[in-house]
Structure 1
Amino acid sequence: MGEAMGRVTVVGSLNMDLVARAPRLPKPGETLAGHAFAQVAGGKGGNQAVAAARLGAQVAMIGCVGDDSNGATLKRSLEAEGIDCSALATSASAPTGVALIIVDDASQNAIVIVAGSNAEVTPASVEAQEGLLARADVIVCQLETPTDTVRAALAAGRRLQRTTILNPAPAARKLPPDWFPLIDYLIPNELEAATLSGVAIDTPEDARRAAQALKAKGVRNVIVTLGAQGVLALLDGEDEAGVHMPSPRVEAVDTTAAGDTFIGGFAAELARGSAVRDAIAFGQRAAAIAVTREGAQPSIPHRSEISA
């Protein structure tokens, strides 16, 4: 494979992650003694931008931080990765977004997000960056910014004939019907796929049915991430039954940002011109490394660490 770098533009969220480790996740009303704490750069948009940059893409970020120490830290961390922050706005009134994360000894997590300045990423923010979007090979969105902003980004991608990826996270409700034809790659996890499709998911076969229901709505490709069970991909022009691609086997330490690492790696590889299945496998190998490390962005590997 050559060394050419594709271009990825991420429209999305930036949060400061406040991460506590505890023996287990607390029950409602319960106070637990934790055994570690860390404050690290995060947010799905930021995580996916960092992942794409470390894994081989030229990356630009469209987002918004607060005029505070967290915002300054997040911007510096993106710039340190070589990410273009020319489209990163600073809110005069809202604080930088934060995520409160608890990780238990089984490597599962529970997360509460306070959007803060992420709510100020508007359709006008997207419209102002038409040139940046036009230069992208791949445009990546999530659902941690306002929904009308996400739709504007997807619509711009379709109009500009760019490849669009939507990670529908967090998926609290079904997507509007007019979104689906704007999406080239819909990449939910099993919970998000169940919410969007109405199909409960426990197995790859369940994920296949959910993916088929979502593809029928007009999405070109559906890739359901299943954690340790791998990925179920229903791809345009391939077998309607889809393909199940198992994950590499590793000893998981912290699953935070595993999905973001997969999406960033997949987007970077897709932007380089790789075949879709190869891009999926690359993203899986990157995510398998991420879960062996603690934290969100600190866990994301570099391209040089990914085996061929």
Structure 2
Amino acid sequence: MISVFGSANMDLVAYVSEAPGRGETVTGHRFRTIPGGKGANQAIAAARAGVRVAFLGAVGDDGFGAELRDTLSEAGVDVRGLRQVPGPSGIAHIVVDDAGGNSIIVVPGANGTVAGPSGDDLATIAASEALLLQLELPMAAVVAAAEAGSVAGVPVVLTPAPAQPLPDELLDAVTLIVPNEHEAAAITGATAPEAALDALLERVEEAVITLGSEGALYGSRSGERVRVPAVEVKAVDTTAAGDTFVGALAVARAERLPMADALRFASTAAALSVQREGASTSMPTRWEIEDFLT
């Protein structure tokens, strides 16, 4: 089982030919509400890729909260750790242009009320093969969950997004960090991926930097280095590509695949997701990933 301690948001998605600049108004050609949030996305991606997943987080007592819970449950995610709190659920305003690029504004809502893992959450984390974390919950809560995973001997996988300063107590508890190239540069100050990887490995045991069309780069303190090329596809919407990658990578690592194979599995899942619109609606099943690989 993989546990995900993270955010659940309702994505409010506007599709436009070209994203507006500052002070500019443009006309969109479509609008959708799609369940998302980095935590929920990773949970759904991992469940569809073939493992049991438990989600730990919070939603509001509004209609969005009920829909988020139902979406996770229908994907096969255990939602007993998803608590309901008074007030609105988290939301994300997303603008997607015709090239598949996006810009996002997140309003935390119920996610901002999460102070840390509960007693039941701690038991779930301790029983897991991996704990997935992101930064859409309060930092103190993320640190507490990471430390709980570390104390229990559970591998802790951190997606450092949205990018922000990372406290030492968080990184001390992280096993694997998975930033994209922009987040890696923001964390380390190094723009070259190899240099950024070296800098990350001074703070964590393992790191994967996703490089978009350039693939993904892995390194460990043991000296292992693996680079895999990107899977070439036509992108329609890149909103949840990173979360799909992390969820699938966690599954591959739980199944003890060699790192090169794990990265290919995760890259394939992400490539399939960008060919579809939305976040949770875009994530492939295990059969789809394996069929594409073969």
Q: TM-score if structure 2 supplies the norm length?
A: 0.96
Contact persistence 2:61–2:84 (CA under 8 A): yes
Report the AA paired with residue 166 of structure 1: L
Q: Residue 72 of structure 2 is aligned with which of 78, 81, 106? A: 78
Q: Secondary structure at the match of 1:178?
A: helix
List alignment gaps of at least 5 residues for structure 2: none
Q: Deviations over 1:26-58 (max 9, x none)?
A: 011111000111110000000000000000110
* Alpha-carbon offset, residue 126 of structure 1: 4.1
Q: Secondary structure at the match of 2:277?
A: coil
Q: Deviations over 1:135-154 (max 9, x none)?
A: 11010000000101111111
Within 2, Cα distance between the matches of 1:249 and 1:126? 42
Q: Residue 134 of structure 2 is aligned with which of 120, 138, 142? A: 142
Residue 56 of structure 1 aligns with which residue?
50
Report the AA paired with residue 216 of structure 1: E
Within 1, Cα distance between the matches of 2:101 and 2:251? 27
Q: Residue 205 of structure 2 is aligned with which of 220, 241, 248? A: 220
Within 1, Cα distance between the matches of 2:234 and 2:259? 27
* Alpha-carbon offset, residue 127 of structure 1: 4.2
Q: Deviations over 1:237-296 (max 9, x none)?
A: 234xx3321111111111110000000000112122323332221100100101111111
Larger deviation, residues 182-191 vs 270-279: 270-279
Within 1, Cα distance between the matches of 2:152 and 2:169? 17
Residue 253 of structure 1 aligns with which residue?
236
Structure 1 runs of 4+ aligned residues shifted over 4 Å read none
List alignment gaps of at least 5 residues for structure 1: 1-6, 201-205
The alignment covers a number of residue pairs equal to 291
* Alpha-carbon offset, residue 198 of structure 1: 1.0
Residues 271 and 261 (structure 1), Cα distance of their counterparts in 2 relative to 1, 3 Å cut? same
Contact persistence 1:211–1:224 (CA under 8 A): yes
Report the AA paired with residue 117 of structure 1: A
Q: Residue 29 of structure 1 is aligned with which of 19, 23, 32? A: 23
Superposition RMSD on alpha carbons, in Å? 1.1
In the alignment, is residue 183 of structure 1 matched against residue 177 of structure 2? no
* 1:173-212 alignment runs, 5 A limit: 174-200=165-191, 206-212=192-198
**Identical columns (%):** 42
Contact persistence 2:201–2:221 (CA under 8 A): no
Q: Deviations over 1:159-179 (max 9, x none)?
A: 00011100000013x211232
